[in-house]
Amino acid sequence: MNKVTLEIKELLYSQGSSGAYVLIMEDKTSRRQLPIVIGTSEAQSIALGLEGNQPSRPLTHDLFKRFALNYDVDLTEVVITRFLDGVFYATLICKQGDDISMIDARPSDAIALAVRFGCPISAYESVMQEAGIETEDLDKVEEPDPEPTEEAQSDNLEDLSVEQLQQLLDLAIEEENYEKAAEIRDLINAELGMRNEE
């Protein structure tokens, strides 16, 4: 399967879900973004790993790294492998001598470990196509898109047309409300899928 190399772009507090954060992963080549909702403790662990801070006592991900290295196990890559029913799945690719093994993991844990091991993070192209969000190249935008109509700003998204949903999706991305953007994207995909079946 084709893979896309990702990098951590932002870690944002989620206004829609209490105690949750949105981790924004970005494709280095196309600027497509993959928003992943994660918990507070995982967000804290990723942030500490990015900053290179060493707590006085090891956090869970620090302990995992020490344990792995003590037995000559190296984490060589993290791959986000699936997006199913709104849930992301990831795999740790580990190497011990000549042996390579793959371990299932939550993406939040896998990325917290990748930050500590300094290994690449990637996603299958199928995941990017299903859950990724296209971002506009701001340098090429000549005029801003028109504001969505009042009808398009309705709270009941399921009553809106694909065109109105697309307007709201563009607005959510512009406002960096990635959780809302992911919800709208899923509705658009569902509506287009129903049209193809007809």
Model confidence over 122-139: pLDDT tens digits? Answer: 999 999 999 999 875 433
User: Closest Cα to residue 60, out of 77, 73, 76, 44?
Assistant: 44
Name the domain boundary from 131, 150, 173. Answer: 131
Range of the domain at 189: 139-197
- Quote the Cα angle for 149-144-178, to 5°: 75
Number of separate domains in the chain: 2
Give the pLDDT band (50/70/90) at residue 196.
Answer: low
Say what the pTM is.
Answer: 0.69
Name the domain boundary from 102, 131, 160. Answer: 131
Specify whether 70 is located in the same domain as 143: no
Instruction: Yes or no: say if 128 and 27 are a contact pair by the CB < 8 Å rule.
Output: yes
Q: What is the pLDDT of residue 148?
A: 44
Task: Give the residue-averaged pLDDT of 25-36.
Answer: 90
Which one is predicted more confidently, 60 or 147?
Answer: 60
